[in-house]
Structure 1
Amino acid sequence: MRNSSPNTKEFKTFSEQLALLQDRGMTIPDLAAAEAFLCRVNYYRLSGYWHPMRRFDSERRVVLDSFQDGASFGIVTELYDFDEKLRNAIFSSLAPVEMAIRTMLGHELGRINPTIHLCPDLLGAQATQRSGEEGNTRYDLWIQKYRTQIRRSKEDFVSHHNEKYDGKLPIWAAVEVMDWGMLSHLYAMSPNITQNRIANSCGLSSPQLQSWLKSLNILRNYSAHHARVFNRVYDIKPKLNRKDDPNPNVLLTTFEDAKNRVFGQLSMIQYLHLKLELSPAVQLPALLATYPDNRFVPFSRLGAPSNWQTTPLWQSASSSQNGSF
């Protein structure tokens, strides 16, 4: 028996969902294939991919429940499949970036004190900043998460330190139990000398790297939770060149106008792979070249300029194997 509550949408089977899309003007040449697709990808997840195909009433400024001419389920599945490949590529491409930041942070903080992460007085000014209504410092909130991670960890090295060193992991070991968000906050709380050494390795300033870590953490979370990433406006804009910078980094100008689009996010990954020599950085360019271009969501919607493949940052991917970064 179907739920007939006036406050809840009526349940529809997969075939009824497809019929609704057809009634609204979407072309579905192969109903069996479309139903099989809906069986594994939720209707409401897919709605974000067909949303640009809906008609728009310019007078009332509202999106209508009908589709533009040419809207097809095939375009929807192509966009979804591309986005799925993009999420996987982002996740795998961010892994070595995270590993590099983790290693550098543990090493540089260890120079100062092996247990600096347990001594807020040795950290930077941001550690004592108040956060939230309860008046906790940024460090207070961070150390709570750290202790939770330690309790939950099943790693052998954590058990070893619990037994032999009263659970006090040195920072170069402690970073291994921290997720990206914790690493990002620890970097922001680090002494200036530590921040600068790591940022210099990345060819960035400390404020730039802080903003990049925040931006990439959000992108990583979207990818990990299977959210749409290809056609999205990102809230946090990474810091690039200053407008008054007399010697701007030409590689960063590549995505100056796409900071809050996916091309800008991907460009940060591309840059760090090349700068830190993590890989030849050919995975993302190869994937972008397979984008299923269409008039509803053209490739330009990703934020990429028309000449993106010949811009210094992306063109360098093909030559980086020869060390010509």
Structure 2
Amino acid sequence: MTTFNKPAVTVDEHLALLQGRGLCVNDTHQARHVLETVSFFRLSIYMRPFQVVGKENHSFKSGTDFNQILDLYAFDRELRLLVMDAIETVEVALRASLNNHMSCTYQIDSEPHSGSHWYLHRNRFKEKYNYAKLIRDIETKQQYEGRHLDKEKRKINASRAPSQTKQQRIGHRSKDNYPRFYQHNYQTPALMPGWAMTEELSLGNLSHMYKGLLKDADRKAIARRFNVPHEVLGSWLHTLTFVRNCCAHHSRLWNRELPVQPKILQGEDWQFRKLMPDSQIRPSRRIYVVLILLAHLIRQISPHSQWPLNVKSLVRMYPNVHLAPMGFTCDWQSHIFWSGADA
């Protein structure tokens, strides 16, 4: 372990450093503005493909222009937005599919809220599932909203507004979100119904809940909506959680290696090279496989979606971006998921 000794430097010093390493900067005003608003550190990961391998001073390959780095950065940013859009569609559909199945499956005529509150039964989850955390999180959310509503009610009641106006304002505040509404209006059951509960879960927690369901039959029924085996859907949700977190934190997708390879469906359309030609890149661990599984899921959820077309359009907008580091093959546009999307 050594002591970190890099001093902070100004934007102009960073710009001079890049030029000293051989980067061509035709518009210094633009470059300075980018370094001020994006930062040298965030851009540095996009500089690596343009730098001479093995050089300790990070010198740039001859002829490299600052705009090439900006194009790669812009492509990656737009790719994240596209991927985030698709993941949102999948996440919303999963919430609906999970509750549509579980609530109706466990509805008992003699117990009016047995279906709506299906998740309150511990025995519907695997022993290893962290059920206590689920209940604790939902309780915490409701209590938090209840306290804030009480605070707002006291403030409204202390005002000089007419009584009718006060009641109207309190009524509006109680409907700001469902946890608050439920806490304000219901006592039994103590927690909100399942279809509201899942809206409070992150994709990661939703993924854990799906895999934590006790019965294979329940997981299979939910996965059937997406036309995949239940163990594959569980694997995909794990992968999408990681990718979503990358997108949410504005992290790089271009040339990102997935920490865990998602399970792949059987069939000709799901065959990938073990390695890209003349490299150690494994397509099954790169973002292209994520785009493929998202295209499949989007097709099941929204058959007329323009998302595949948007992916092709994005790639065509940035013809100089190398696709191989993402796992794209040279004939990727002929794949069934993209061939029907005319960009």
* TM tier relative to shorter chain: 0.7 to 0.9
Query: Within the alignment, does 1:118 sit opposite 2:120 as a pair?
Result: yes
Which residue is equivalent to 1:218?
Answer: 242
Alpha-carbon contact 1:55-1:64 (below 8 Å) kept = no
Which residue is equivalent to 1:285?
Answer: 312
Which residue is equivalent to 1:105?
Answer: 98
d(CA) in 1 for partners of 2:203, 2:97: 14
Hey, which of these two has a bigger chunk of strand by percent? Answer: 1
d(CA) in 1 for partners of 2:273, 2:143: 41
Alpha-carbon contact 1:78-1:292 (below 8 Å) kept = no
Alpha-carbon contact 1:26-1:67 (below 8 Å) kept = yes
d(CA) in 2 for partners of 1:152, 1:254: 48
Which residue is equivalent to 1:304?
Answer: 328
Alpha-carbon contact 1:114-1:171 (below 8 Å) kept = yes
Deviations 1:97-130 (A, max 9, x none): 111001001111112243232222122x3xx12x
Residue type at the aligned position of 1:147: E
Look at both structures and tell me which one has the larger radius of gyration over its CA atoms. Answer: 2
Query: Within the alignment, does 1:208 sit opposite 2:232 as a pair?
Result: yes
Structure 1 residue 158 displacement after superposition: 2.1
Query: Within the alignment, does 1:274 sit opposite 2:274 as a pair?
Result: no
| Residue 158 to residue 145, structure 1, CA distance change in 2 (3 Å) | closer
Residue type at the aligned position of 1:119: H
Structure 1 residue 39 displacement after superposition: 1.3
CA RMSD, 1 decimal: 2.4
d(CA) in 1 for partners of 2:117, 2:246: 32
Query: Structure 2 length normalisation: TM-score?
Result: 0.78
Q: How does 1:144-159 map to 2 (within 5 A)?
A: 144-152=136-144, 155-159=176-180
Gaps of 5+ in 1: 1-5, 130-136, 242-247, 320-325
Q: How does 1:60-79 map to 2 (within 5 A)?
A: 64-79=57-72
Residue type at the aligned position of 2:8: F
Residue type at the aligned position of 2:71: E
d(CA) in 2 for partners of 1:261, 1:63: 27
d(CA) in 2 for partners of 1:290, 1:74: 14
Q: Secondary structure at the match of 1:172?
A: helix
| Residue 310 to residue 195, structure 1, CA distance change in 2 (3 Å) | same
Deviations 1:13-53 (A, max 9, x none): 21110110111121112111111111110110000000222
Deviations 1:193-250 (A, max 9, x none): 1210111121111110001011111111111111111121111211013xxxxxx334
Match of 2:200 among 157, 177, 196: 177
Q: How does 1:186-197 map to 2 (within 5 A)?
A: 186-190=209-213, 191-197=215-221
Match of 2:131 among 139, 163, 186: 139
Alpha-carbon contact 2:203-2:241 (below 8 Å) kept = yes
Which residue is equivalent to 1:265?
Answer: 290
Residue type at the aligned position of 1:141: K
Query: Structure 1 length normalisation: TM-score?
Result: 0.82
Structure 1 residue 318 displacement after superposition: 4.7
| Residue 11 to residue 98, structure 1, CA distance change in 2 (3 Å) | same
Deviations 1:128-171 (A, max 9, x none): 12xxxxxxx53233433343444455853323322314432221
Q: Secondary structure at the match of 1:272?
A: helix
Deviations 1:166-206 (A, max 9, x none): 43222122212222112111111113112101111211111
d(CA) in 1 for partners of 2:230, 2:176: 31
d(CA) in 2 for partners of 1:45, 1:115: 45
d(CA) in 1 for partners of 2:140, 2:286: 34
Residue type at the aligned position of 2:222: I
| Residue 152 to residue 25, structure 1, CA distance change in 2 (3 Å) | farther
Q: How many residues align?
A: 291
Alpha-carbon contact 2:97-2:225 (below 8 Å) kept = no
Alpha-carbon contact 2:87-2:294 (below 8 Å) kept = yes
Question: Percent of aligned positions with the same letter in both sequences?
Answer: 26
| Residue 250 to residue 114, structure 1, CA distance change in 2 (3 Å) | farther
Which residue is equivalent to 2:181?
Answer: 160
Alpha-carbon contact 1:237-1:260 (below 8 Å) kept = yes
276-285 vs 48-57, greater mean Cα deviation: 276-285
Q: Secondary structure at the match of 1:259?
A: helix
Q: Secondary structure at the match of 2:71?
A: helix
Q: Secondary structure at the match of 1:56?
A: coil
Gaps of 5+ in 2: 107-114, 146-174, 275-281
Query: Within the alignment, does 1:19 sit opposite 2:19 as a pair?
Result: no
Structure 1 residue 317 displacement after superposition: 3.7
| Residue 91 to residue 37, structure 1, CA distance change in 2 (3 Å) | same
